[in-house]
């Protein structure tokens, strides 16, 4: 291998190493920010996560820009790529795991059974616990309902009634399209038809 080729290989390996280090450090920062007051006023976990993700993605890009000053082989494309890769990978992980944990009936059911592993349950027992604790005590419905008000998918009419907004209809249309595309349970997007 020629000296020029060895230099190119070293640059590529160095660049990969930089990407990995920035990704790991900024991911740790992204997770740590959930334990701070930063954007804590955003009560919808998904929106707060997106906000924190953008903040740490920008930090990742700035870190790459600083490194560019020392290693001239880094380009603007690398700065953009580190932002895109960081945000895309962490968005998938964030929505797949933390958001699922926060919203999942399965997570609640399994966690409850684990905390009470000295007992046996019937299906009806678990259903009653779910309704009593998850829905009533923990306000699962209220939380999701309030999220829709915050996001603007429903509006308070001021007389104790609520109406879906155009934004809400747009989201329902998207959900129905995704549901058809991936052949999920249609009862959730067409509740009156079943």
pLDDT of res. 172: 94
Tokens found for residue 172: 């329902």
The structure tokens 């699922």 sit at 100
Residues in the chain: 194
Do 143 and 46 meet the contact criterion of CB atoms below 8 Å apart? no
User: How many angstroms separate the CA atoms of 25 and 61, rounded?
Assistant: 12
pLDDT of res. 25: 97
Taking the model in full, what pTM does it have?
0.75
pLDDT of res. 102: 81
pLDDT digit of tens for each residue in the chain (194 aa)?
A: 777 788 888 888 989 999 999 999 999 999 999 999 999 999 888 899 999 999 999 999 999 999 999 888 899 999 999 999 999 999 999 998 888 888 788 888 999 999 999 999 999 999 999 999 988 999 888 988 999 999 999 999 999 999 999 999 999 999 999 889 888 888 888 998 86
pLDDT of res. 122: 94
CA atoms within 13 A on the CB side of 46: 11
Which DSSP category does 194 fall into?
-
Q: Of 1, 52, 5, 61, which Cα lies nearest the Cα of 29? A: 52
pLDDT of res. 194: 62
């Amino acid at each position: 291998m020629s000296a020029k080729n060895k230099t190119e290989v070293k640059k590529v390996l160095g660049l990969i190493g930089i990407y990995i280090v920035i990704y790991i450090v900024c991911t740790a920062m992204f997770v740590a920010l959930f334990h701070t007051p930063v954007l804590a006023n955003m009560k919808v976990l998904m929106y707060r996560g997106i906000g924190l993700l953008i903040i740490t993605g920008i930090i990742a890009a700035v870190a790459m820009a600083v490194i560019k000053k020392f290693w001239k082989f880094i380009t603007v494309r690398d700065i953009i790529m580190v932002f895109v890769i960081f945000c895309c990978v962490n968005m998938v992980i964030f929505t797949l795991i933390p958001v699922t944990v926060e919203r999942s009936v399965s997570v609640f059911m399994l966690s409850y059974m684990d905390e009470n592993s000295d007992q046996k349950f019937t299906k009806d027992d678990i259903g009653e616990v779910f309704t009593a604790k998850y829905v009533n005590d923990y306000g699962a419905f209220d939380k999701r309902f309030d999220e829709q008000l915050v996001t603007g998918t429903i509006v308070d009419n001021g007389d104790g009634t609520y109406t879906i907004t155009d934004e809400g209809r747009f989201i329902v249309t998207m959900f129905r399209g995704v549901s058809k595309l991936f052949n999920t349970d249609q009862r959730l997007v067409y509740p009156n038809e079943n």
